[in-house]
Chain A
Amino acid sequence: EIVLTQSPATLSLSPGERATLSCRASQSVSSYLAWYQQKPDQAPRLLIYDASNRATGIPARFSGSGSGTDFTLTISSLEPEDFAVYYCQQRSIWPPITFGQGTRLEIK
């Protein structure tokens, strides 16, 4: 099973700042990595797939990069609605499809 480790667990930033979230895989997942955003009491929403492609309707301030075992989600300038929990997910080697444990992005 591929283990995804996200860091940091919590990130405290202010609106307008740049956010950098990390996801590391226990073995190579090539570019088969996605990022999701989840707000309280809501289902997750797909942001990025195949490591760097924005899903439909996702603002350009969200970008993804990386391949192999190290991946990054960057939010270039935080908007108030961006404060949420973010998960990475791999589909390279499965079952099982696995998720990271999440990074909580909170307002400083």
Chain B
Amino acid sequence: QVQLVQSGAEVKKPGASVKVSCKASGYLFTGYHLHWVRQAPGQGLEWMGRINPNSGDTNYAPKFQGRVTMTRDTSMTTAYMELSSLRSDDTAVYYCTKGFCTTTSCYENWFDPWGQGTLVTVSS
């Protein structure tokens, strides 16, 4: 079955960078975009951007442009999200997710399944 397994929790100081990984299995990794969504404590969901694992092309939310970099390693079927110049308000759970597929169709920008989430804490 489709699985997305993320790297473990991170604690970073303000100004540092963090790189979160998302290991995909159970489907053709290069066939579907991978998205990153974050959730601050007690808050809602915020889309950060997506990567095309086949081409490496990316689309970022304007809010994160210049601070986020999404990459992938096709040999490892793993996607990465790196966020730089961390601030305390970047403290959040970061999720990777992929487009939803039925038995007959796939929808790139509806999200299912999701990884388990990675807590990134930014604190001095």
| A associates with B | yes
- Measured CB to CB, the residues of A under 8 A from B are 1, 34, 36, 43-46, 49-50, 55-56, 87, 89, 91, 94-102
Q: Which of B10-18, B22-30, B44-52, B80-88 contacts A (4 or more CB under 8 A)?
A: B44-52
Residue of A nearest to B114 (CB): A43
Distance in angstroms from B1 CB to nearest chain A CB is: 11
A-B contact count (CB 8 A): 62
Contact indicator A46/B44 (Cβ below 8 Å): no
Distance in angstroms from A57 CB to nearest chain B CB is: 10
Contact indicator A49/B49 (Cβ below 8 Å): no
> Number of residues in B with C-beta < 8 Å to the partner?
25
- Measured CB to CB, the residues of B under 8 A from A are 35, 44-47, 49, 59-63, 95, 97, 100, 102, 107, 109-117
Q: With contacts A43-B117, A91-B109 known, is A96 near B44, CB below 8 A?
A: no
Q: With contacts A43-B114, A44-B114, A46-B100 known, is A96 near B63, CB below 8 A?
A: yes
Contact indicator B115/A99 (Cβ below 8 Å): no
Contact indicator B45/A46 (Cβ below 8 Å): no
A45 contacts which chain B residues (CB < 8 A)? 112, 114
Greatest chain A CB density within 10 A among B47, B100, B110, B113 is at B110
Contact of A95 among B46, B62, B95, B113 (CB under 8 A): B62
Q: With contacts A45-B112, A49-B107, A55-B112 known, is A99 near B100, CB below 8 A?
A: no
- The distance in angstroms between the C-alpha atoms of A97 and B116, with both chains bound, is 21
A100 contacts which chain B residues (CB < 8 A)? 44
Contact indicator A99/B112 (Cβ below 8 Å): no
Contact of A43 among B35, B62, B63, B116 (CB under 8 A): B116
A87 contacts which chain B residues (CB < 8 A)? 44-45
